[in-house]
Amino acid sequence: MIRVNPHYSKLQASYLFSAIAKRMAEFQASHPDSDLIKLGIGDVTHALPAACTEAMHKAVDEMGCDATFRGYGPEQGYDFLREAIALNDFAARGIAVQADEVFVSDGAKCDTANIQELFAQDARIAVPDPVYPVYVDTNVMAGRTGEVQDERYDGLVYLDSTEDNHYVPTPPAQPVDLIYLCFPNNPTGATATHAQLKTWVDYAHEHQALILFDAAYEAFVRDDSLPRSIYEIEGADEVAIEFRSFSKTAGFTGTRCAYTVVPKACRAYDAEGNPQELHALWNRRHTTKFNGVSYPVQRAAEAVFSAAGQAQITTVNDGYLGNAALIREKISALGYALVGGENSPYIWIKTGIDSWDFFDRLLNDAAVVTTPGAGFGSCGQGYIRISAFNDRSKVEEAMQRIAAVLGNR
C-alpha cells in the first residue's frame, strides 16, 4: 500500500493568503463598484527593466538559430552570470565570493525550501517569529517537527522578533544547529546591523551551527552603514549560506531567477563530527534535481548588472522606497508605531488591536488590502504589513483613504 508522507498532515492550511482572498472576494461582491487598492501581497508591479528585456530578446533569437542555439546548460548557471554576480554583488563591495560558489536557480523560495535536505533529520532548527512561512513548512514536510500547539510547531525554536528587541532576535539560550535569518526582513521590514549579525556569526562558530541568510530584499538597503550580505561579517563564509533573488531586485517575480552562495569554506559535520563541505553537497543536490535556469532568463539577469540595468533598477526601486517613505509618514502621523520601509519595501505597523480586525477595517472602510501580521506567526498578532510595491498614485490614494478612516479612531 502506497502511503502518503505523514508529516504533510501536520501542515496548517495556507490560511493567510486564502483567507485574505476570501475576504477580498466577499468585499468585491458586495461593493462591485469599489476600486480596491492592494498593498497586501509582496509582488512587484513595474515592468522588467528595458536592459533585461533587450538581452532576453537577443538570447531568444540566438536560441532560434542552429549556430547559436544552446541545449542543456550547466545546472549551476552559466559562467557569464555567475561571474557577473561574483563581481558586481560581492567583489565590488569588497566581499570575496568566487563565481563557482554561486548557484543560479529559479527562486530563493525553492532554494530556501530545498536547502534543508542537506541536514540531519534531528537538526535543531531556529526560525524567526514572525517568519517567511517557507522556512517552517519545508521542515515540517521533512518531518523535523511535531504537531502544532498554540500556533507553534513542537520541536522548532522560535526567535521572537518584537518591539523589545527592535525586531532583530538575539541567539537563543538553548543550542540550535540551523538558524534561518532574513534581513531586510519579510514581513517586518527590519534591518540588522553588522554588530547584530556578528552576534549570530559568533554564535554559529561557537556551536558549530549554520546560518541560512535570506537576503532577498538587499537591493532596498540604502543606508551604507547596514550590511547587504552576511559575508560582510568576518568568518561568516565558514558558517553561513546566503540566498538572493532577482525577483524584487529587478522585477523577476514572473521571469524567475535567483541564486544561492555556498562558500567552499562552509561546513556541516557528519555523525563522527568530521567537517563536510556544504558546497560539494549542494552541488550534488543541484545537479541531480535541477536543470538550470533558461538561457534567455540568465542573459536577462546578467543585464541587471549593465550600466543601463543598474540605472533602471535603481529608478524602479527608489520609486518603491518613495512609496514606503510616504506610507511611513502618513501612518506615523496617525499615531501608529511602525518599523521598516526605510531600507525595505515592507512596513510593519502596530495596530493596537487584533490583526484581522484591523485588516477588516481597512478593507471594508477604506477598500485597501493589507496583510494581517498574525498570519506570519504569533508575534505578528497585533500588527499588519503594508507593502510598498504599487504605483505611486495608488499608494497616495490608499493613504488618503486610510487617513480618513483611522484619523477619527
- In whole angstroms, how close is the CB of 113 to ligand PLP at the nearest point? 9
Question: Is 108 among the residues that bind ligand PLP (CB under 6 A)?
Answer: yes
Residue 184, C-alpha cell as written in the block:
531586510
Cβ neighbours of 235 (radius 10 Å): 14
Cell numbers found for residue 338: 511602525
Looking only at residues 230 through 249 of this chain, which bind ligand PLP when binding is defined by CB under 6 A?
245, 247
Q: What is the DSSP letter of 264?
A: T
Q: How far is the CB of 215 from ligand PLP (least distance, A)?
A: 9
Which one, 233 or 258, has the nearer CB to ligand PLP? 258
Cell 508529516 found at: 7
Could you tell me which of 391, 378, 386 has the C-alpha nearest to residue 136? 378
Stretch that binds ligand PLP, among 104-112, 288-296, 313-321, 370-378 (CB under 6 A): 104-112
Q: Give dist(CA 282, CA 385) in Å, integer.
A: 34
Among 40, 42, 77, 380, binds ligand PLP (CB under 6 A): 42
What is the three-class DSSP state of 329?
helix
Choosing from 90, 119, 132, 180, the residue that interacts with ligand PLP (CB under 6 A) is: 132
Sole window of 14-22, 75-83, 103-111, 195-203 interacting with ligand PLP (rule: CB under 6 A)? 103-111
Site for ligand PLP in 246-275 (CB under 6 A): 247, 253, 258
The bridge status of strand 368-369 relative to strand 37-38 is parallel
The one segment of 106-114, 137-145, 279-287, 385-393 that binds ligand PLP by CB under 6 A: 106-114
Assess contact for 201 and 211: CB atoms under 8 A: yes
Cβ proximity to ligand PLP, 55 vs 215, nearer residue: 215
Size of interface with ligand PLP, in residues (CB under 6 A): 14
**Interface residue with ligand PLP, options 40, 107, 171, 319 (CB under 6 A):** 107
The single residue listed with the C-alpha cell 472576494 is: 25
Instruction: Tell whether residue 137 is a contact of ligand PLP (CB under 6 A).
Output: no
From the CB of 352, what's the least distance to ligand PLP, in Å?
Answer: 26
* Least distance to ligand PLP, CB of residue 244, Å: 8
**Rounded distance, CA 140 to CA 113, Å?**
11
Q: Is 116 helix (H, G, I), strand (E, B) or coil?
A: helix
Strands 258-261 and 102-105: antiparallel
User: Interaction with ligand PLP in 168-227: which residues (CB under 6 A)?
Assistant: 182, 186, 214, 216
Q: Which residue number, 231 or 246, has a Cβ lying nearer to ligand PLP?
A: 246
- What DSSP element (H or E) covers 88? none
Element (H, E) at 232: none
Identify whether the C-beta of residue 345 lies closer than 8 Å to the C-beta of residue 389.
yes
- Contact flag: residue 109 with ligand PLP (CB under 6 A): yes
Distance of closest approach, residue 219 Cβ to ligand PLP, in angstroms: 12
Part of the chain binding ligand PLP (CB under 6 A), chosen from 78-86, 101-109, 119-127, 163-171:
101-109
Q: Closest Cα partner for 125 from 211, 195, 38, 4?
A: 211
Q: Is the Cβ of residue 186 or residue 351 nearer to ligand PLP in the bound state?
A: 186
Query: Nearest approach, Cβ of 35 to ligand PLP (angstroms)?
Result: 25
| Closest residue by Cα to residue 90 from 253, 330, 259, 210 | 259
Q: Minimum distance from CB of 46 to ligand PLP (Å)?
A: 15
| Min dist. Cβ of residue 123 to ligand PLP (A) | 20
Pick between residue 193 and residue 253 the one whose CB is nearest to ligand PLP: 253
Nearer to ligand PLP, 41 or 265 (CB): 41
Decide whether 187 or 309 has the Cβ nearer to ligand PLP.
187
| Residue 56 grid coordinates | 532576453
Q: By the 8 A CB rule, do 373 and 385 touch?
A: yes
Residue range at the interface with ligand PLP (CB under 6 A); choices 27-35, 93-101, 107-115, 151-159: 107-115
C-alpha 359/C-alpha 24 separation (Å) is 11
Instruction: Write the secondary structure of 332-389 as one string of H (helix), E (strand) and C (coil).
Output: HHCCCCEEECCCCCEEEEECCCCHHHHHHHHHHHHCEECEEHHHHCHHHCCEEEEECC
Least distance from ligand PLP to the Cβ atom of residue 135, Å? 9
Q: Alpha helices, DSSP H only, in 146-294?
A: 194-207, 246-250, 278-289
Give the interface with ligand PLP as residue ranges (CB under 6 A).
42, 107-109, 112, 132, 182, 186, 214, 216, 245, 247, 253, 258
